[in-house]
Every structure is written in C-alpha cells, then in structure tokens.
Amino acid sequence: MRHILSLLLENEAGALSRVSGLFSARGFNIESLTVAPTEDPTVSRMTLVTSGSDEIIEQITKHLNKLIDVIKLVDLNDNRHIERELMLIKVSAKKEDREQIKQLVDIFRGRIIDVSENTFTVEMTGTGDKLDAFIGALDKTLILEVVRSGISGILRGDKALHM
C-alpha cells in the first residue's frame, strides 16, 4: 500500500543522502521525495511517498527514525491528511488546439502561466491522481514536457507536525 511519510529533519548537508541511501541500501521503494527548509532554517520538512506491506512500512519508519538527522516522523496514512502535488506541463498549442486545451485546463482548475506562439505552459496542483487524470485527458502527442514536484502532505485539523 502507498504511504505518505512526513519528516522533520536537521537541515544539514548530507541529511538527504542519508535518507535516500537508506532506501537504496535496504531495497525500499521511493515513489517521490520532496524536501525544503521550514520556517526554522535549521529544520527541513520532507515528504516521502513509498509503498509496501505493513511490515515493510513499519521497518521503513523505524529505520528513518533511527537516522540521527531525523527529528520527527509521521505516517500521514495513520491520520486524516491533505496531499497536494504541483505540476508544470508544457503542451503544444497550435491555433486549432488552443481553445480545447484551455477548456480542459479550466475543468481541472489549472492555470496557463506562459504562452508562446506554439505552446502553453500550464500550472496545476492537486492530488497525484488528479494530475494523472489531466495528463490522461490530453492528447499524448501534444505533451512536450512534464515537471512534477512530488507529493507534499499535511495533517488535517488541529494536529501539526512541528518542533
């Protein structure tokens, strides 16, 4: 099963490689991984999407917690949560296709953020599924470039993961 793990870790050189190294050394999957500093510049927030049986996920969380740089860890799947991913996608937009693409972008509540003679660049956020659906709805031959951020997640309600 797919799990979203949220981590607070020391914003130190090498912290990211400790996490990614752990996954490769122990043969765990990473579907996506995003990391950036928080409001406290000494702390980074990482969202990691992985998959595996309950036993594997338990081992993954234990090994992550064991890393010296990891301060806190929450499995968002254990809680009500919100997940979002940002996608930038560049599509071929010839005159005859423009209107149709614009409509599709509106349906998916995306925004066209750059226009050239032959292309649109679209910004879209949502769950991974939604972004997949948008890509699926486009004519494959129109897609020039896809950039996805990987999932970011946060707990719903009053609960918060902070120091």
Q: Provide the binding-site residues for another protein, judged by CB under 8 A.
A: 9-10, 13-14, 17-18, 21, 25, 55, 58-59, 62-63, 65-66, 68-71, 163
Residue 115: both structure tokens together = 């226009």
What distances in angstroms separate CA 74 from CA 78, 92, 107, 125, 154, one per listed residue? 8, 41, 33, 23, 10
**Strand ranges, E, within the chain:** 2-10, 32-37, 43-51, 70-75, 81-92, 111-115, 119-126, 143-148, 152-155
Q: Which is nearer to another protein, 47 or 121 (CB)?
A: 47
User: Any residues with CB less than 8 A from the CB of 61 and at least 6 apart, and which?
Assistant: 5, 73, 75
As measured in angstroms, the least distance from the Cβ of 147 to another protein is 28
Q: Which is nearer to another protein, 67 or 104 (CB)?
A: 67
Q: Which is nearer to another protein, 38 or 149 (CB)?
A: 38
As measured in angstroms, the least distance from the Cβ of 10 to another protein is 6
Q: Which is nearer to another protein, 43 or 104 (CB)?
A: 43
As measured in angstroms, the least distance from the Cβ of 51 to another protein is 19
